[in-house]
Protein backbone atom coordinates (compact mmCIF):
# COMPACT_ATOMS: atom_id res chain seq x y z
CA UNK A 1 0.00 0.00 0.00
CA UNK A 2 1.36 3.43 -0.99
CA UNK A 3 2.47 5.55 1.96
CA UNK A 4 1.39 9.19 2.23
CA UNK A 5 3.84 11.89 3.33
CA UNK A 6 2.77 15.44 4.12
CA UNK A 7 5.56 18.00 3.60
CA UNK A 8 5.23 21.44 5.20
CA UNK A 9 8.04 23.57 3.79
CA UNK A 10 8.12 27.10 2.32
CA UNK A 11 11.34 26.86 0.25
CA UNK A 12 10.08 26.26 -3.29
CA UNK A 13 13.35 24.79 -4.59
CA UNK A 14 13.55 22.39 -1.68
CA UNK A 15 9.89 21.43 -2.17
CA UNK A 16 10.62 20.54 -5.79
CA UNK A 17 13.59 18.41 -4.71
CA UNK A 18 11.60 16.66 -1.97
CA UNK A 19 8.60 15.99 -4.19
CA UNK A 20 10.81 14.55 -6.92
CA UNK A 21 12.75 12.21 -4.61
CA UNK A 22 9.77 11.10 -2.54
CA UNK A 23 7.52 10.49 -5.54
CA UNK A 24 10.25 8.56 -7.36
CA UNK A 25 10.55 6.30 -4.32
CA UNK A 26 6.88 5.40 -4.36
CA UNK A 27 5.41 7.84 -1.84
CA UNK A 28 2.24 9.91 -2.32
CA UNK A 29 3.29 13.46 -1.47
CA UNK A 30 1.09 16.30 -0.21
CA UNK A 31 2.94 19.64 -0.28
CA UNK A 32 2.08 22.58 1.97
CA UNK A 33 3.94 25.88 2.19
CA UNK A 34 2.29 27.36 5.28
CA UNK A 35 0.82 26.26 8.59
CA UNK A 36 -2.57 27.66 7.62
CA UNK A 37 -4.80 24.73 6.74
CA UNK A 38 -2.17 22.17 7.77
CA UNK A 39 -4.28 20.58 10.49
CA UNK A 40 -7.24 20.11 8.16
CA UNK A 41 -5.04 18.70 5.40
CA UNK A 42 -3.50 16.25 7.84
CA UNK A 43 -6.97 15.21 9.03
CA UNK A 44 -8.09 14.69 5.43
CA UNK A 45 -5.08 12.70 4.23
CA UNK A 46 -4.12 10.88 7.45
CA UNK A 47 -0.43 10.74 6.44
CA UNK A 48 1.94 7.96 7.41
CA UNK A 49 4.70 10.51 8.09
CA UNK A 50 5.10 14.30 8.26
CA UNK A 51 8.14 16.35 7.17
CA UNK A 52 7.91 19.67 8.99
CA UNK A 53 9.96 22.86 8.67
CA UNK A 54 10.41 24.82 11.88
CA UNK A 55 10.48 28.37 10.51
CA UNK A 56 7.43 28.99 8.33
CA UNK A 57 5.98 32.30 7.06
CA UNK A 58 2.93 32.14 9.32
CA UNK A 59 4.22 30.39 12.42
CA UNK A 60 6.47 27.90 14.18
CA UNK A 61 6.59 24.21 13.27
CA UNK A 62 7.22 23.36 16.93
CA UNK A 63 3.73 24.65 17.79
CA UNK A 64 2.14 22.44 15.15
CA UNK A 65 4.06 19.43 16.45
CA UNK A 66 2.72 20.04 19.96
CA UNK A 67 -0.86 20.22 18.64
CA UNK A 68 -0.43 17.02 16.62
CA UNK A 69 0.90 15.17 19.64
CA UNK A 70 -2.16 16.21 21.68
CA UNK A 71 -4.49 14.77 19.03
CA UNK A 72 -5.24 11.04 19.35
CA UNK A 73 -5.30 10.63 15.55
CA UNK A 74 -1.72 11.92 15.13
CA UNK A 75 -0.09 11.18 18.47
CA UNK A 76 1.96 8.33 16.94
CA UNK A 77 2.46 9.74 13.42
CA UNK A 78 6.23 10.09 12.78
CA UNK A 79 7.24 13.76 12.57
CA UNK A 80 10.63 14.62 11.09
CA UNK A 81 11.82 18.20 11.41
CA UNK A 82 13.65 19.72 8.41
CA UNK A 83 15.21 23.01 9.42
CA UNK A 84 18.12 25.40 9.11
CA UNK A 85 18.04 25.90 12.90
CA UNK A 86 21.01 23.80 13.95
CA UNK A 87 21.54 25.01 17.51
CA UNK A 88 21.69 22.29 20.15
CA UNK A 89 18.82 23.85 22.09
CA UNK A 90 16.58 23.71 19.01
CA UNK A 91 17.41 20.04 18.35
CA UNK A 92 16.75 19.08 21.95
CA UNK A 93 13.46 21.00 22.00
CA UNK A 94 12.31 19.42 18.74
CA UNK A 95 12.87 15.93 20.09
CA UNK A 96 11.47 16.65 23.55
CA UNK A 97 8.15 18.04 22.26
CA UNK A 98 7.49 14.88 20.26
CA UNK A 99 9.54 15.04 17.07
CA UNK A 100 10.91 11.68 15.97
CA UNK A 101 13.92 13.10 14.15
CA UNK A 102 15.65 16.44 13.58
CA UNK A 103 17.44 16.95 10.26
CA UNK A 104 19.35 20.14 9.59
CA UNK A 105 19.69 21.79 6.20
CA UNK A 106 21.48 21.19 3.94
CA UNK A 107 20.97 17.43 4.02
CA UNK A 108 21.47 14.46 1.75
CA UNK A 109 18.26 13.28 0.01
CA UNK A 110 19.61 9.75 0.25
CA UNK A 111 20.03 10.02 4.02
CA UNK A 112 16.57 11.56 4.38
CA UNK A 113 15.01 8.66 2.45
CA UNK A 114 16.84 6.17 4.68
CA UNK A 115 15.53 7.91 7.80
CA UNK A 116 12.00 8.00 6.40
CA UNK A 117 12.11 4.26 5.66
CA UNK A 118 13.39 3.55 9.18
CA UNK A 119 10.61 5.55 10.84
CA UNK A 120 7.93 4.02 8.63
CA UNK A 121 9.16 0.50 9.41
CA UNK A 122 8.97 1.19 13.12
CA UNK A 123 5.53 2.81 12.99
CA UNK A 124 4.06 0.03 10.85
CA UNK A 125 3.82 -2.28 13.86
CA UNK A 126 5.61 -5.12 12.15
CA UNK A 127 6.36 -8.33 14.02
CA UNK A 128 9.59 -8.03 16.01
CA UNK A 129 12.64 -8.91 13.99
CA UNK A 130 14.60 -11.96 15.10
CA UNK A 131 17.88 -10.71 13.73
CA UNK A 132 19.68 -7.86 12.04
CA UNK A 133 22.24 -8.36 9.30
CA UNK A 134 23.52 -5.16 7.72
CA UNK A 135 26.95 -4.13 6.40
CA UNK A 136 28.80 -6.94 8.19
CA UNK A 137 27.06 -6.51 11.56
CA UNK A 138 24.89 -9.48 12.58
CA UNK A 139 22.72 -9.49 15.71
CA UNK A 140 20.78 -12.62 16.60
CA UNK A 141 18.22 -11.45 19.14
CA UNK A 142 17.01 -14.94 20.09
CA UNK A 143 20.46 -16.48 20.49
CA UNK A 144 21.72 -13.21 22.02
CA UNK A 145 24.85 -13.24 19.91
CA UNK A 146 26.48 -10.66 17.70
CA UNK A 147 29.16 -10.86 15.03
CA UNK A 148 31.08 -8.34 12.96
CA UNK A 149 32.31 -9.54 9.56
CA UNK A 150 31.95 -13.12 10.78
CA UNK A 151 33.86 -12.68 14.05
CA UNK A 152 31.95 -13.17 17.30
CA UNK A 153 31.71 -10.18 19.62
CA UNK A 154 32.33 -10.64 23.33
CA UNK A 155 29.46 -8.61 24.78
CA UNK A 156 28.28 -8.60 28.37
CA UNK A 157 24.57 -9.14 29.05
CA UNK A 158 24.08 -5.40 29.60
CA UNK A 159 26.01 -4.46 26.46
CA UNK A 160 23.94 -6.85 24.37
CA UNK A 161 20.69 -5.57 25.89
CA UNK A 162 21.71 -2.00 25.07
CA UNK A 163 22.72 -2.92 21.51
CA UNK A 164 19.51 -4.91 21.01
CA UNK A 165 17.27 -2.07 22.18
CA UNK A 166 18.97 0.54 20.02
CA UNK A 167 19.14 -1.72 16.95
CA UNK A 168 15.44 -2.55 17.19
CA UNK A 169 14.65 1.18 17.15
CA UNK A 170 16.82 2.58 14.33
CA UNK A 171 16.73 6.27 13.69
CA UNK A 172 15.25 7.20 17.07
CA UNK A 173 17.25 9.20 19.60
CA UNK A 174 17.17 8.30 23.30
CA UNK A 175 18.39 10.25 26.30
CA UNK A 176 20.64 8.58 28.84
CA UNK A 177 17.78 8.58 31.33
CA UNK A 178 15.50 6.84 28.82
CA UNK A 179 18.16 4.17 28.27
CA UNK A 180 18.59 3.70 32.01
CA UNK A 181 14.83 3.24 32.31
CA UNK A 182 14.76 0.64 29.51
CA UNK A 183 17.99 -1.28 30.12
CA UNK A 184 18.52 -0.90 33.86
CA UNK A 185 14.80 -0.68 34.76
CA UNK A 186 15.28 2.87 36.02
CA UNK A 187 17.57 1.89 38.90
CA UNK A 188 18.41 5.06 40.74
CA UNK A 189 22.04 4.07 41.41
CA UNK A 190 22.86 3.91 37.69
CA UNK A 191 24.47 7.21 36.69
CA UNK A 192 24.15 8.67 33.19
CA UNK A 193 27.92 8.31 32.93
CA UNK A 194 27.46 4.52 33.05
CA UNK A 195 25.53 4.72 29.77
CA UNK A 196 28.47 6.52 28.15
CA UNK A 197 30.86 3.82 29.35
CA UNK A 198 28.72 1.03 27.89
CA UNK A 199 28.29 2.93 24.62
CA UNK A 200 32.07 3.37 24.39
CA UNK A 201 32.62 -0.36 24.95
CA UNK A 202 30.02 -1.22 22.33
CA UNK A 203 31.63 1.10 19.83
CA UNK A 204 35.00 -0.50 20.44
CA UNK A 205 33.53 -3.80 19.29
CA UNK A 206 31.06 -2.94 16.53
CA UNK A 207 32.60 0.17 14.99
CA UNK A 208 35.44 -0.12 12.52
CA UNK A 209 36.53 3.37 13.65
CA UNK A 210 35.17 3.94 17.19
CA UNK A 211 36.11 7.63 17.09
CA UNK A 212 33.97 8.04 13.97
CA UNK A 213 30.98 5.80 14.72
CA UNK A 214 28.53 4.93 11.97
CA UNK A 215 26.24 2.61 13.96
CA UNK A 216 25.75 4.26 17.36
CA UNK A 217 25.76 8.02 16.86
CA UNK A 218 25.85 10.74 19.48
CA UNK A 219 23.00 13.26 19.41
CA UNK A 220 24.72 16.26 20.96
CA UNK A 221 23.05 17.56 24.06
CA UNK A 222 20.53 14.72 24.03
CA UNK A 223 21.78 11.11 23.92
CA UNK A 224 22.33 8.38 21.36
CA UNK A 225 20.79 7.03 18.16
CA UNK A 226 21.34 3.78 16.24
CA UNK A 227 21.67 4.22 12.49
CA UNK A 228 21.77 1.62 9.72
CA UNK A 229 24.36 2.98 7.25
CA UNK A 230 23.10 3.66 3.75
Q: Look at residue 14 and give its three-state secondary structure.
A: helix
In angstroms, rounded to a whole number, what is the distance separating the alpha carbons of residues 90 and 71? 23
pTM for the model stands at 0.56
Task: Tell me how crowded residue 65 is: count the other CB atoms within 10 A of its CB.
Answer: 22
Q: Which pLDDT value is given to residue 230?
A: 62
Q: Look at residue 36 and give its three-state secondary structure.
A: coil
pLDDT tens for residues 58-108?
Answer: 999 999 999 898 876 787 899 999 988 888 888 888 988 889 999 998 889
Domains of the chain: 4-123 (3.40.50.2300), 131-226 (1.10.10.10)
Q: Look at residue 101 and give its three-state secondary structure.
A: strand
Most distant pair of Cα atoms in the chain: their distance? 55
In angstroms, rounded to a whole number, what is the distance separating the alpha carbons of residues 56 and 82? 11
pLDDT tens for residues 109-154?
Answer: 999 999 999 899 887 754 556 788 888 999 999 899 999 999 999 9
Mean pLDDT for the stretch of residues 2-10: 93
Q: Which pLDDT value is given to residue 128?
A: 55
Q: What is the mean pLDDT of the chain?
A: 89
Q: Which pLDDT value is given to residue 129?
A: 62
In this prediction, what percent of the chain has a pLDDT beyond 70? 95
For residue 186, name the pLDDT band (cuts at 50, 70, 90). low
What length is written for the chain?
230
Q: Output phi, psi for 98, to 5 deg.
A: 125, 0
pLDDT tens for residues 211-224?
Answer: 999 999 999 888 99
Q: Which pLDDT value is given to residue 21?
A: 95
Lowest pLDDT segment from 6-10, 50-54, 165-169: 165-169
Amino acid sequence: MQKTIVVIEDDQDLCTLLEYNLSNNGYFVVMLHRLAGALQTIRDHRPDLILLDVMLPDGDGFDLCRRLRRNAATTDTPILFLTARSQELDRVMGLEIGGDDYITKPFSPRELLARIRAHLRRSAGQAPRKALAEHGLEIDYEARKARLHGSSLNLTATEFALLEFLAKNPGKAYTRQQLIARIWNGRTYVAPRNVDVHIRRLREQIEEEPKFPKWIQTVRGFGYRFEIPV
